[in-house]
Chains A and B, each alone.
Chain A
Amino acid sequence: MNWLTEYVRPKIRTLFTRRDVPDNLWQQCPNCQQMIFHTDLEKNLRVCPHCGHHMRATVTDRLGWTLDEGYTRIELPKAPADPLKFRDSKRYIDRLKEAREATGLEDAIVVAHGTIEQRPAVVAAMAFEFMGGSMGAAVGEALIAAAQLAVLQDAPLIVFTASGGARMQEGTISLMQMPRTIIASQIVKEAGLPFIVVLTDPTTGGTTASFAMLGDVQIAEPGALIGFAGARVIEQTVREKLPDEFQRAEYLLEHGVLDMVVKRSEMKAMLARLVALLREKEPA
């Protein structure tokens, strides 16, 4: 209650309260339910200042947090759109169009080149906001292009994953992106360049079971959900409720799947150190 709601007449009141709190000024932490003011959240790299929960991030945020200023986003190679003319309750081609309009992205990934603490790097970031970050031919093609770009620039390739898995609407074509993206990882490795994977929330299915598990160094963000099979499918198979920590980054670290879990605020510095150790081998 404030003087407005108490004393101003109803009609004017609705007019004022509507402008009072636009929905995007405050955001609720999905973990601790605390409200966070948006500028605080952005300043804190979308990590809850109360509980440390790492919220999902857009690819633009991701590139900005990782690369030094002045990086360049590359145009992604074209992939055949909707080769199966897939249709469920909606046409795939329409879903694609909607996702493009909503996100301003071509598909579920962006690729950029620039520097990380002055060291050249190619960074690919998957966009969960684009059809669940699902991997179809466009994502596969982009990862191959990113690998070739890394070789061309003699730079490491760092991939931030965020993906529900293969894109069902591309059927077996999406399945073929598993070997294709593995080849992309090999292109980087064979050139003697580091291939670093940063698994972010969530990374599951065919994405996990391909390039995302083949990094020279495997990093994850705290609390990220990472796995092959979905928890619901596993629950149906084993007929029991799974513990909360199951398939979380910390669980994977414990089970030897990851090298480390790194906080968002420390990620860039860690990537820079890793690249330096792997590449600047002689004493300075």
Chain B
Amino acid sequence: MRHFLDFEKPIAELEGKIDELRRMSEPEGLNIEDEVSKLTEKADRQLRATYAKLTPWQKTQVARHPDRPKALAYIAGLITDYIPLAGDRAFADDAAVQGGLGRFRGRSVVVIGTERGNDTETRVAHNFGMARPEGYRKARRLIELAGRFGLPILTFVDTAGAFPGVDAEARGQAEAIARSIEACIDAPVPLIAAIIGEGGSGGAIALAAGDAVLMLEHAIYSVISPEGCASILWRDAAQASAAAEALHLTAEDLHRLHLVDQVIAEPIGGAHRDPEAAIQAVGEAVQAALEPLLGVEGPALKARRRERFLQMTREPIG
């Protein structure tokens, strides 16, 4: 069954009516095609109109949509011959961070993603995409592996943030994130990051300090969740909508601020309506971002990436 968000109610009602008409007409052999196509057209129009002007808070909900394709879906859809690699070699394997070797359009790559799961069982297994230090240490290990063999790195970011837990703190969550960012900065190979859902703060930048940062149209990327920001600055988590607005966390805004290189258009009604199309669109954008970097030598690539970050946030934005 399709999961509808609050603001999708009118669409849900129309689509419900269409389904009902179809069900009723089947046994009776009634000709309802006219009615159905009229309603379908109306639902389509409504969907287009709604998604053309989503507010930042609505986008936040779309970015977290349970049916939205997750990192493993992108890996399955874009990477062939995928061999997952596990563990941080020190403490554990963190299922919130998935990654390994594979081929992207024939080329060997290292792929890394934060995976939040699709149902209760997988969500729990992946700790809802919130990594612990071992996850970031695994990421760093894979980034270094890529560097050693000259393989481009593709990351798929979708996380509420790093896991806030006693164990995570005790094992050096902050240090693990810092080292993962450092590994991204130091990689002598191209690193393309795609924010596919929620880009949650330090847990996201840990995998996204790359040569190109791509972002799906309805994904979000922020220093703090709108709820967290609202409860601190407004002292009221219910002000999340206002906070989402103020934080400028949408792909469109971040592109304008030069923090994101490209916005990838989503299928009408969001990636969850047509996951395959969304995955292929991301594949195209990754390919386009990767292509010009392939011939660049490691040291030049690193120098360019460093300069990119040094310049970032320096210029006033109009």
Query: Which among B114-122, B168-176, B283-291 touches the partner chain?
Result: B168-176
Please encode chain B, from 295 to 317, with 1 for each CB lying within 8 Å of some chain A CB and 0 for all others. 00000000000100110111111
Cα A137 to Cα B317 in complex, Å, equals: 13
Chain A binding site: helix, strand, loop or mixed by DSSP?
A: helix
Cα A89 to Cα B230 in complex, Å, equals: 10
A48 interfacial contact with B, CB 8 Å: no
Contacts of A80 in B (CB 8 A): 313-317
**Candidate in B186, B243, B313 with the most chain A CB atoms within 10 angstroms:** B313
Contacts of B315 in A (CB 8 A): 80
B182 interfacial contact with A, CB 8 Å: yes
B39 interfacial contact with A, CB 8 Å: no
Q: Return the contact of B162 from the options A83, A172, A228, A246 (Cβ within 8 A).
A: A228
Given A172-B254, A179-B205, A210-B181, A247 contacting B169 (CB threshold 8 A): yes
Chain B, 134-176, CB within 8 A of any chain A CB: 162-166, 168-175
- Nearest CB in chain A: distance from B274 CB, A: 28
- Nearest CB in chain B: distance from A116 CB, A: 25
Residues B316 and A214 in contact, CB atoms below 8 Å apart: no
Contacts of B221 in A (CB 8 A): 172, 175
Residues B185 and A182 in contact, CB atoms below 8 Å apart: yes
Given A176-B259, A228-B169, A237-B164, A141 contacting B229 (CB threshold 8 A): no
Residues B223 and A171 in contact, CB atoms below 8 Å apart: yes
Residues B174 and A213 in contact, CB atoms below 8 Å apart: yes
A196 interfacial contact with B, CB 8 Å: no
Contacts of A141 in B (CB 8 A): 314
Given A177-B313, A228-B162, A171 contacting B222 (CB threshold 8 A): yes
A246: nearest chain-B partner, CB-CB: B166
Q: Return the contact of A209 from the options B171, B202, B254 (Cβ within 8 A).
A: B202
Contacts of A133 in B (CB 8 A): none
A173 interfacial contact with B, CB 8 Å: yes
Interface residues in B, total, Cβ within 8 A:
53
A236: nearest chain-B partner, CB-CB: B164
Chain A, 152-167, CB within 8 A of any chain B CB: 166
Cα A180 to Cα B184 in complex, Å, equals: 12
Contacts of B243 in A (CB 8 A): 88
Residues A228 and B166 in contact, CB atoms below 8 Å apart: no
Residues A179 and B257 in contact, CB atoms below 8 Å apart: no
Cα A212 to Cα B178 in complex, Å, equals: 8
B177 interfacial contact with A, CB 8 Å: yes
Query: Which among B1-9, B71-79, B245-253 touches the partner chain?
Result: B245-253
Q: Return the contact of A173 from the options B170, B209, B232, B259 (Cβ within 8 A).
A: B259
Residues A238 and B165 in contact, CB atoms below 8 Å apart: yes
Contacts of A169 in B (CB 8 A): 233
**Candidate in B163, B182, B223, B312 with the most chain A CB atoms within 10 angstroms:** B223
Contacts of B171 in A (CB 8 A): 255
* Chain B residues engaging chain A, CB cutoff 8 angstroms: 162-166, 168-175, 177-179, 181-182, 184-186, 201-202, 204-205, 209, 221-224, 228-229, 232-234, 242-243, 246-249, 254, 257, 259, 306, 309-310, 312-317
3 residue pairs, one from A and one from B, having the closest CB atoms: A229-B164, A208-B174, A88-B233
Given contacts A171-B248, A214-B182, 17 further A-B contacts (CB under 8 A): A80-B316, A84-B246, A88-B243, A89-B233, A168-B233, A172-B248, A173-B259, A176-B309, A177-B313, A178-B181, A186-B185, A186-B306, A206-B202, A209-B177, A210-B177, A210-B181, A229-B168
